[in-house]
Structure 1
């Protein structure tokens, strides 16, 4: 129960509001500490993963993100972030495999829900692409199947999970795994948002660093020459 005090009898309004305020502050502090812990623990791996992703994008690779439930919407956020970052950031080819309801329902009905992402990677994925799986448990059959398919196809396989990583942590061919040390679905998803935004920023920085500097355009004519 997230807010047990809401169901306790005999509390006045002032007491209830104070409990809500305290609970909100505690949860905000908890996610701040969790995000700091995750970024500190995975600092080197985040940089290595971003460098690998930048290399893939530089070579013409594309990113495919996928997840279930709330993680499906996070996958869509990942794709939108890379595809349409805004400002002066470089747009990068990215697609959420959760978007096509016709494909998902056809695969689920005709074969089984465990193949809804793997079959899409089999159709669209190619060596040098990137697969990003998001899960709170790390135990979803369709994500494990998709990561294995990504590995078979020579793609960079990236996983985000909670609860110790689950079966995702045992998946062969997984290049990078970021595990949020929490059993709370809410805290896991909040921290995963920080992880993939950090990956995006580091990838953009790596791409910008490796691109040649723009030279000044040559001036026509010579100094003092009449127009």
Structure 2
């Protein structure tokens, strides 16, 4: 098993601690179950901590976003790596909500700035990776829109630049970060910041997903109420 990369062994040590010939199937299953329960308990505790600490701020952010949407605003999302995937998932949730209009959901205009490979690679190659999101916001963003940046570290330069550009153009600025917030915690122009207090990238991303789904649910409630309960 020596050929297994060290980072993989560190993530799942119970899979590699024993020689293959010595591994007991029952014991391995118990270790897998224990690890899964431990991780599930960890993210559940983290979500409870966030709910206790940030419930009022999440509600305030949702109200501000709902007001922008009601006035015709659009949502732009962005992030790198796993946060890029989350940005796409966030945009999809708003643009193509579960159940759609038939289930009473309000379809909202949303675009992930990570989705166009031609634009992202052109800007990265011709200008620089730090501007891949800011340049798109400069082209598409307008006062009344919403910009949501995701970063597990809070230090992604292109996310910071995009939020600064969004603020200059009158967009509502929202960010989700991890650890201690990084550079995003120092960004004076940022209107709403939710920091996941964890050093685990996995738990940070799981908790960020919870935060933006709660935002979506609250925004849906606010917009349906504003439209006479969805009738």
TM-score by length of 1: 0.92
Q: Which residue of 2 aligns with 1:24?
A: 36
1:214 shift after superposition: 7.7
Which residue, out of 14, 18, 21, partners 1:5?
14
Cα distance in 1 for residues equivalent to 2:37 and 2:110? 36
Q: Which structure has the greater CA radius of gyration?
A: 1
Deviations 1:182-227 (A, max 9, x none): 0101000001110000000001111112224688xxxxxxxxxxxx
Q: How does 1:91-110 map to 2 (within 5 A)?
A: 91-110=107-126
Distance 2:136 2:230 in 1: 38
Contact 1:82 1:200 in 2 (8 A): yes
Aligned match of 1:116: 132
Runs of 4+ with >4 A deviation: none
**CA distance in 2 between partners of 1:209 and 1:88 (Å):** 12
Corresponding residue of 1:66: 78
Q: Is the 8 A contact 2:83 2:151 kept in 1?
A: yes
Output the CA distance in 1 between the equivalents of 2:108 and 2:29: 45
Q: Which position in structure 2 is the counterpart of 1:130?
A: 146
Label 1:114 to 1:214 Cα distance change in 2 as closer, same or farther (>3 A).
closer
CA deviation after TM superposition for structure 1 residue 37, in Å: 1.1
1:33 corresponds in structure 2 to: 45
CA distance in 1: counterparts of 2:63 and 2:145, whole angstroms: 14
Q: Contact 2:104/2:230 (CA < 8 Å) preserved in 1?
A: no
Aligned match of 2:5: none
* Maintained 8 Å contact 1:63/1:93: yes
CA drift at 1:13: 2.1
Separation in structure 2 between the aligned mates of residue 214 and residue 137 of structure 1, nearest angstrom: 39
Q: Which moved more, 1:114-123 or 1:170-179?
A: 170-179
RMSD: 1.3
- Once the two structures are superposed, residues 46-86 of structure 1 have per-residue CA deviations (whole angstroms, 9 ceiling, x without a partner) of 11000000100011100000000111010011111001112
Aligned length: 215
Quote the residue 2:163 is aligned against. 147
Retained in 2: the 8 A contact 1:83–1:93? Answer: yes
- How high is the TM-score relative to the length of structure 2? 0.90
| Cross-structure match for 2:179 | 163
Secondary structure of 1:60's counterpart equals coil
Is the 8 Å Cα contact of residues 148 and 172 (structure 1) preserved in structure 2? no
| Structure 2 unaligned regions, length at least 5 | 1-9
| C-alpha contact 2:224 2:230 (8 A) present in aligned 1 | no
Which consecutive unaligned segments of at least 5 residues does structure 1 have?
A: 216-227
